[in-house]
Amino acid sequence: MHPDMTLLWILAVLFLPGAWSQSSSRLGAVVEAKNITLPAGSKAVLPCYSPRMVWTQDRLKDRQRVVHWDLVRSSPEYSVERVLDMSPGARQRVYNGFNKGRISIPDSAFSDGNFSLVINTVVASDKGVYTCNLHHHYCQIHQSIQIQLNVTKSARKEKRYWDGEKTVFMVLLGSSVVLPCVNRRPLWREGLQEDQQQVAHWDFQPPGVRPDKADRLVDLYASGERRDYGPLFAVNKMKVAEDAFTLGDFSLTIADLKPVDKGLYSCHLHHHYCGLYERRIFRLTVGPPLPSNPTKAPKVFQTDEPESRTKEALRHEDGSHVLNGFLPDHRSYYVQHVGYFLATFFLLAFIIVAVLVPTWRRKKRGLENKLGRSVRGNLTSGGEMTLDYTELRTCNQDPLNSDYKNNLLKERDMTKDCNKDFDGKMWM
């Protein structure tokens, strides 16, 4: 079984009680299982769609079923050549003029399922791998059969064997051979009442009812026949589209849901001609009805605790819409946001303090260490501090001569000499 199909089986067993007892081969494979909960008074749509159940009633059957033989030659460069093809109601078409009258398939192929290829007067150019391709586009079925044909000039070398992948025919040059391709399934043969072999029906299983006691709701046939069971469809309580087989949409619509509608619904699709048997299961639960919209806004007293609600979309009398918004109703809503703001603020303050204080302490400790090293370097071995100073002499040690007392030029020269001596000692 396909892994995806196995998973669907497991889901159906776990989530839908009673589904296991309904999963017999005669009912078909469960391809979908869902739980649906809707409020009372609303409308439920249980989807059931399958493109393979689309009935187009196409009379051109050659567009639906076709067989064609292809030949793959090893030289030159593994070329592919179409040998012939055939469809119901049409003559077989041979693509190479040399093969006309020499290569054919039975005219009754689509009646008895025998699509074998007959080759008369085998030549050396017939060597290669032949493929029989069966296509049923309506039922979406495609099958292929490969046969390798080798040509020999010795009669004792003629034989047939299996090489592990395909059948190999060793044929004598100039003889005739039949490459078998047989499919006896009814799918490949004419159907007398093909349109009546497509059936869709809905079943309903109330809680506590066994699967074999489920109620039949409706039967639909591709021929247009419809059978309703009970008055639910007559009053449009339940409905399936009239053109279900045209679109392949067999969804069930249930209006004005009530608690009695609770249960297990199953959609069965049968296509006997194509060999299709599918089933979709839905567990429908009916909840409490939606509250009616009040005409006036209710008054809220300070002593009352306002109920939690959201503002729904409003519609004006002129048909315009109002944007949806969400209104906080609890007083604690604002307190919570203020608390979030304060907590964020204190957290940021704590981070700033935790970063700045250690940095300031490290800088202060560095200045103290630098000053301490400077002081220790200047201490003598006896513990006394010595200061390096430069002896300054008074520039005007000699008493000024009274002759130059009023001579401004002489006084300026003496001042220059004094400054030069002082600068030299300072830089030394």
pLDDT (average), residues 55-60: 58
- What CA–CA distance (Å, rounded) separates 402 from 397? 15
pLDDT beyond 90 at 296: no
pLDDT (average), residues 387-400: 45
pLDDT beyond 90 at 379: no
What is the band of 250 on the pLDDT scale with cuts at 50, 70, 90? very high
For 175-227, the pLDDT digits (tens) are: 999 999 998 887 787 665 665 678 999 999 999 888 888 999 999 998 888 89
pLDDT (average), residues 234-239: 85
What is the band of 17 on the pLDDT scale with cuts at 50, 70, 90? very low
Give the CA dihedral 413, 414, 416, 419, nearest 10 degrees: 180
> Bigger pLDDT: 359 or 387?
359
Task: Provide the 3-class DSSP secondary structure of residue 7.
Answer: helix
pLDDT beyond 80 at 413: no
Q: Which residues pair with 4 in a beta bridge?
A: none
For 269-293, the pLDDT digits (tens) are: 998 888 888 999 999 999 888 887 6
Q: What is the pLDDT of residue 341?
A: 81
Q: Do the bridges between strand 29-39 and strand 226-228 make them parallel or antiparallel, or are there none, so unpaired?
A: unpaired
What is the band of 58 on the pLDDT scale with cuts at 50, 70, 90? low
What is the band of 382 on the pLDDT scale with cuts at 50, 70, 90? very low
pLDDT beyond 90 at 399: no
pTM of the model: 0.52
**Radius of gyration for the chain, computed over Cα atoms and rounded to the nearest angstrom:** 51
pLDDT (average), residues 217-245: 87
Segment holding 269, helix H or strand E:
strand 263-271
Q: What is the pLDDT of residue 12?
A: 44
The distance in angstroms from the start CA to the end CA of the chain is: 104
For 95-138, the pLDDT digits (tens) are: 999 999 999 999 989 888 899 999 999 999 999 999 999 998 87
> Which residues are within 8 A (CB) of 108 and not within 5 positions of it... i.e. 6 or more apart?
114
Give whole-number Cα distances, 2 to 8, 50, 55, 175, 202, in Å: 10, 19, 27, 45, 26
The answer to whether the beta carbons of residues 312 and 325 sit under 8 Å apart is no
- What CA–CA distance (Å, rounded) separates 14 from 6? 13
Average pLDDT of the chain?
75
Q: What is the pLDDT of residue 191?
A: 61
The answer to whether the beta carbons of residues 202 and 217 sit under 8 Å apart is yes
Burial of 250 (0-12, 13-18, 19+ CB in 10 A): buried
pLDDT (average), residues 30-47: 89
